[in-house]
């Protein structure tokens, strides 16, 4: 029977590793067992079925999470979970099971696994691509594709359209763990090839019905946090054909994998391009917004440096904000006002953070209920979370009343932002009251309880339904520790618990009477799967003399020191206890089902409240960050101004502080009269840091955070571009120079007058003349066509003359009058020592001091000496009589020196 079930499931899920539950183990068979044993480093064994030796391996249930992490998260394998489902049976009968695959676990369909990153979204994204695409490499024509992505662990569901050209940028920002394509999409399709080249994890799904055939759960909340379109319980938004196809593909894939755990999905939010700063994939990676390019992971990233959030939901929201800053001045101002509000009220801020620290991940717990996986512990978490939300509102109200009493006036202006935010919350005290009234030992079983054995989940109910005969003999029916619902919650439960109490009292009296009557202190009344209800004697030699003479006791089993007897009175009484416990268990299961349904019915309001608390957490985190790091509130305007006084790079500054060093701040001024700034100077003097710093301050300003500066005015940036730190793309046969040219071309095509561009050493990697020409053409295009704000770092100081540099104004001439020039330098001392001056000053630095960097890198002295001689010749120096033609014989000249 087991072999037949396994073979059937292997045929049904040929693309999956099949793990079959057998008792207290998960097992793998046939050829898959060899792969599983190798990946999990567990012993490979065998068993005989129908006279054939079959390979197998297995591991205890308790290790499932550890091994799923290896199979799914690390090795990107699909795992089909074949579970046991008990058939109805009478007490005392050997349990029988049906086995079926209840879920297929993939990298994008994780629900509540312990290895799921609580601080990051785990998105599954479906991509609907046209069968015929635009000519590859032609940026002027691009087919439209549909995107739909969902985090199954939180229920967040989004959709949008994209062009093939912009697809890479959206994928980098969304960062899905798994991408689903139509399996009919050819392997040579440009999009499929591009995804494979970028090393995305790609899965396939069958052609699916359009979104119009998919039913969604109504969500009455709006998403004021991410700035997405308002999808209310009203009419279904009109999705484009591409969006509908992607939504259908995604839901089809979910149905095929979640199976019995498939929830009713929320209606997808359409993500709008308007109102968000656009950043391409190169910019997100180069600026290290979420991950560090040097170390990998979040260490060293902007997210890691500014993260002061308390909740996991708040951290996920912060991550989304960083990759999608707002361009709405009212939205930015509202966030800044909340930051200012908490900055001026540190005690309120600390009290709210203390309360938030006790809140579980509400979004993921709510989703567990919608997936049919919520248990008693989750109900307690929901109750504690709702109570905490109410306490936060009460604390804010108390603070307002205290201020009004102290100042003698009604507080309106300063409190408008927090009042508006909290007014959107739904009062869920009724739900909390129902849960706390229903659940037993709420305080003891709440967050932080160490007595987990007192909680009861679905597995416990399954055991109870089979009665005491299937429960350990250590369990004593004292009526105090096995139940999760308060006895008085329903009349039925009250009656059943009253009956059970009476039966347990009869059991105690019977046990005591038998001990006294037969002189057997070690006599106890027990039950076990093997012997049913029986009387147990622990000390045979001392206690069974009288009992052995009574015909009412029938010996069942005997050892050297113990003996067990069948006793009719206890058998009848025990059966009554079993029937009553089964009835209580069934009644509790009905109550828990009712509570689950109530949570599901309130899920939209719970989600909305959770999102509001996430935003509260982020804005409080911004105020803490501003306090700790001396950040200031930037003035955000609807113009092309960008003026920062003594700005600091948030990540580099922190790194220097940990080394006991001080960051050198710099000021930048970009406006309608000085749109582009050329920055020259030596290597290692901070040009690239200044470029990234300028971009990061714009991002921080537009997510509503304060910024590291003495003063800042930021005109809204609609698109942010970074051409910094390119490297070879060997997989696609692209040199560093080619990668840089592709990035530069993209910037010149897409930048608008409201954009901000940072470019570092454009033109390197080819000859000096070619590179200089490309750099000049790039500047010309940025000034005359794009007319955007830009910082352009270069070692080509000759560009100053090409741009008509006027030294008295440190600006260009003619059509380049909006180009300003700044530089960094090296401070030298009399004893040949030097130090980098990271302070930016007006002007052009015509010396890159490359040899000084070579000295710092400990190049051999002979090589340094040769380089100095060669540099002297190339610059004219003491050997200015050497003609240009003769410089081709530089090697011979140096040999003669």
pTM: 0.84
pLDDT tens digits, one per residue of 506-528 = 999 999 999 999 999 999 999 88
Give the pLDDT score at 885. 54
Give the pLDDT score at 411. 64
Strand 178-182 vs strand 157-163: parallel, antiparallel, or unpaired? Answer: unpaired
Say whether both 613 and 672 belong to one domain: no
Q: What's phi and psi for 648, nearest 5 deg?
A: -135, 145
CATH code for the domain of 479: 1.10.1420.10
Q: How many domains does the chain have?
A: 6
Give residue 597's pLDDT band: very low, low, confident or very high (50, 70, 90).
very high
Helix (H, G, I), strand (E, B) or coil at 859: coil
Q: Where are the beta strands (DSSP E) in 129-244?
A: 144-151, 157-163, 178-182, 202-205
Say whether both 343 and 227 belong to one domain: no
Say whether both 334 and 474 belong to one domain: no
Above 50 in pLDDT, residue 445?
no
Cβ–Cβ under 8 Å, residues 576 and 492: no
Domain that holds residue 554: 454-599
Domain final residue, candidates 273, 295, 324? 273
CATH code for the domain of 658: 3.40.50.300
Number of Cβ within 10 Å of residue 344's Cβ equals 10
Cβ–Cβ under 8 Å, residues 268 and 219: no
pLDDT tens digits, one per residue of 531-565 = 889 999 999 888 888 888 889 999 998 888 899 99
Cβ–Cβ under 8 Å, residues 205 and 180: yes
What tokens were used for 176? 């899905």
Distance separating alpha carbons of residues 646 and 117, to the nearest angstrom: 37
Above 70 in pLDDT, residue 371?
yes
Starting at the edge strand found earlier in the chain, the sheet holding 45-49 runs 45-49, 52-60, 25-29, 17-22, 79-86, 97-105
| Mean pLDDT within 289-308 | 85
Please compute, for residue 322, the number of CA atoms within 13 A of its CA located in the half-sphere on the CB side: 27
The DSSP bridge partners found for residue 712 are 644
Above 90 in pLDDT, residue 86?
no
| Packed helices 329-343 and 603-629: angle between N→C axes, nearest 10 degrees | 70
Q: CB neighbours of 182 closer than 8 A, spacing ≥ 6?
A: 128, 129, 204, 205, 206, 207, 249
Above 70 in pLDDT, residue 138?
no
The DSSP bridge partners found for residue 25 are 22, 60
Give the pLDDT score at 226. 36
| Mean pLDDT within 61-70 | 94
Say whether both 623 and 640 belong to one domain: no
| Mean pLDDT within 123-129 | 93
Q: Give the DSSP H or E segment for 173.
A: helix 164-174
Above 70 in pLDDT, residue 598?
yes
Q: Give the DSSP H or E segment for 199.
A: none
Say whether both 785 and 683 belong to one domain: yes
| Mean pLDDT within 477-506 | 84
Above 90 in pLDDT, residue 341?
yes
Say whether both 385 and 264 belong to one domain: no
Say whether both 241 and 389 belong to one domain: no
Q: Give the DSSP H or E segment for 556.
A: strand 553-558
Please compute, for residue 629, the number of CA atoms within 13 A of its CA located in the half-sphere on the CB side: 29
Say whether both 77 and 19 belong to one domain: yes
CATH code for the domain of 177: 3.30.420.110
Above 60 in pLDDT, residue 472?
no
pLDDT tens digits, one per residue of 686-719 = 889 999 999 999 999 999 999 999 999 999 999 9
Residue among 168, 172, 150 nearest 159 (CA): 150
Say whether both 807 and 711 belong to one domain: yes
Please compute, for residue 829, the number of CA atoms within 13 A of its CA located in the half-sphere on the CB side: 5
- Per-residue DSSP letters for 363-408? HHHHHHHHTT---HHHHHHHHHHHHHHHHHHHHHHHHHHHHHHHHS
- Least reliable range by pLDDT among 153-157, 271-275, 743-747, 777-781: 271-275
Say whether both 684 and 833 belong to one domain: yes
Say whether both 363 and 262 belong to one domain: no
Percent of the chain with pLDDT over 90: 56
Above 80 in pLDDT, residue 460?
no
In a domain, 443, yes or no: no
- Per-residue DSSP letters for 735-765? -HHHHHHHHHHHHHHH--TT-EEEEESTTTT
In a domain, 682, yes or no: yes
In a domain, 301, yes or no: no
In a domain, 445, yes or no: no
C-alpha distances in Å from residue 154, one per residue of 37, 259, 399, 745: 33, 18, 33, 39
In a domain, 497, yes or no: yes
Above 80 in pLDDT, residue 209?
no
In a domain, 111, yes or no: no
Long-range contacts of 91-98 (CB under 8 A, 24+ apart): 91/466, 91/467, 91/468, 91/469, 91/470, 91/575, 91/578, 91/582, 92/469, 92/529, 92/532, 95/466, 95/470
Average pLDDT, the chain: 85
Give the pLDDT score at 89. 67
Say whether both 623 and 634 belong to one domain: no
Residue among 58, 67, 153, 142 nearest 110 (CA): 153
Distance separating alpha carbons of residues 307 and 579, to the nearest angstrom: 55
Strand 523-528 vs strand 17-22: parallel, antiparallel, or unpaired? Answer: unpaired
Give the pLDDT score at 839. 87
Give the pLDDT score at 466. 36
């Amino acid at each position: 029977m087991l072999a037949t079930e396994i073979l059937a499931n292997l045929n049904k899920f040929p693309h999956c590793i099949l793990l079959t539950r057998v008792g207290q183990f998960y097992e793998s068979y046939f050829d898959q067992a060899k792969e599983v044993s190798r990946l999990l480093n567990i012993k490979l064994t065998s068993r005989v079925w129908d006279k054939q030796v079959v390979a197998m391996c297995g591991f205890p249930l308790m290790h499932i999470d550890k091994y799923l992490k290896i199979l799914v998260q690390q090795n990107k394998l699909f795992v089909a979970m074949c579970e046991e489902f008990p058939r109805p049976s009478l007490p005392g009968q050997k349990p029988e099971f049906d086995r079926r695959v209840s879920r297929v676990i993939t990298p994008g369909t994780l629900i509540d696994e312990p290895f799921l990153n609580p601080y990051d979204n785990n998105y599954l994204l479906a991509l609907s691509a046209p069968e015929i695409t635009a000519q590859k490499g032609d940026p002027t024509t691009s087919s439209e594709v549909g995107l739909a992505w969902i985090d199954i662990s939180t229920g967040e569901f989004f959709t949008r359209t994209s062009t093939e050209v912009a697809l890479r940028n959206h994928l980098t920002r969304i960062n899905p763990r798994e991408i689903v394509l139509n399996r009919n999409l050819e392997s040579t399709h440009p999009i499929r090839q591009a995804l494979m080249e970028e090393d995305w994890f790609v899965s396939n799904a069958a052609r699916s019905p359009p979104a119009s055939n998919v039913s969604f759960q109504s969500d009455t909340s709006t998403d004021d946090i991410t700035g997405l379109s308002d999808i209310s319980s009203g009419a279904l938004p009109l999705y484009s054909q591409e969006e509908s196809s992607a939504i259908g593909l995604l839901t089809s894939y979910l149905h095929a994998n979640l199976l019995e755990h498939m929830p009713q999905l929320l209606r997808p939010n359409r993500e709008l391009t308007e109102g968000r700063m656009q950043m391409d994939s190169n910019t997100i990676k180069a600026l290290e917004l979420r991950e560090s390019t040097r170390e990998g992971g979040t260490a060293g990233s902007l997210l890691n440096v500014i993260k002061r959030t308390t909740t996991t939901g708040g951290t996920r929201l912060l991550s989304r904000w960083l990759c999608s800053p707002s361009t709405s001045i009212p939205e930015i101002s509202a966030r800044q006002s909340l930051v200012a509000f908490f900055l001026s009220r540190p005690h309120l801020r600390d009290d709210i953070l203390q309360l938030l620290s006790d809140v579980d991940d509400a979004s993921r717990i709510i989703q567990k209920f919608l997936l049919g996986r919520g248990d008693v512990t989750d109900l307690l978490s929901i109750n504690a979370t709702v109570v905490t939300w109410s306490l936060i509102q009460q604390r804010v109200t108390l603070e307002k009343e205290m201020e009004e009493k102290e100042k003698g006036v009604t507080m309106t202006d300063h409190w408008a932002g927090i009042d508006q935010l909290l007014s959107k919350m739904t009062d869920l005290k009724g739900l909390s009251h129902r849960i706390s009234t229903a659940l037993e030992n709420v305080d003891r079983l709440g967050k932080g309880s160490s007595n987990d054995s007192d909680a009861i989940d679905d597995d416990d109910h399954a055991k109870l339904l089979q009665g005491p005969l299937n429960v350990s003999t250590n369990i004593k029916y004292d009526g105090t520790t096995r139940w999760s619902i308060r006895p008085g919650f329903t009349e039925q439960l009250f009656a059943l618990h009253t009956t059970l109490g009476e039966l347990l009292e009869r059991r105690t009296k019977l046990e005591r009477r038998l001990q006294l009557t037969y002189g057997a202190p070690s006599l106890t009344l027990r039950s076990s799967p093997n012997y049913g209800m029986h009387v147990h004697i622990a000390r045979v030699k001392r206690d069974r003399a009288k009992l052995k003479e009574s015909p009412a006791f029938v010996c069942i089993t005997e050892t050297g020191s113990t003996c067990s007897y069948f006793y009719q009175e206890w058998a009848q009484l025990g059966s009554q206890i079993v029937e009553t416990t089964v009835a209580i268990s069934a009644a509790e299961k009905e109550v828990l089902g009712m509570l689950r349904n109530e949570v599901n019915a309130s899920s939209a309001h719970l989600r909305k409240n959770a999102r509001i608390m996430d935003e509260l957490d982020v804005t409080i985190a911004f105020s803490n960050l501003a306090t700790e790091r001396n950040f200031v509130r930037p003035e955000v305007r609807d113009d092309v101004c960008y003026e920062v006084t003594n700005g600091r790079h948030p990540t580099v500054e922190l790194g220097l502080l940990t080394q006991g060093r001080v960051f050198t701040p710099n000021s930048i001024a970009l406006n309608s009269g000085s749109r582009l700034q050329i920055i020259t100077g030596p290597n290692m003097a901070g040009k690239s840091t200044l470029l990234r710093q300028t971009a990061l301050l714009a991002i921080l300003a537009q997510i509503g955070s304060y910024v590291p500066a003495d003063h800042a005015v930021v005109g809204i940036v609609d698109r942010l571009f970074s051409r910094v730190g390119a490297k070879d793309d060997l997989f696609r046969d692209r040199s560093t120079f080619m990668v840089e040219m592709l990035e530069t071309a993209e910037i010149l095509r897409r930048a608008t007058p409201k954009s901000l561009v940072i470019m570092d050493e454009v033109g390197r990697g080819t000859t000096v003349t070619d590179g200089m020409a490309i750099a000049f053409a790039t500047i010309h295009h940025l000034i005359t066509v794009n007319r955007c704000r830009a910082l352009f770092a270069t070692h080509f100081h000759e560009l100053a003359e090409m741009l008509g540099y006027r030294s008295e104004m440190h600006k260009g001439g003619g059509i380049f009058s909006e180009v300003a020039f700044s530089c960094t330098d090296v401070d030298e001392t009399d004893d040949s020592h030097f130090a980098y001056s990271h302070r930016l000053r007006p002007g052009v630095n015509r010396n890159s001091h490359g040899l000084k960097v070579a000295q710092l890198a400990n190049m051999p002295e002979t090589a340094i000496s040769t380089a100095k001689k060669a540099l002297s010749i190339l610059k004219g120096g003491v050997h200015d009589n050497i003609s240009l033609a003769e410089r081709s014989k530089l090697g011979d000249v140096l040999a003669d020196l």
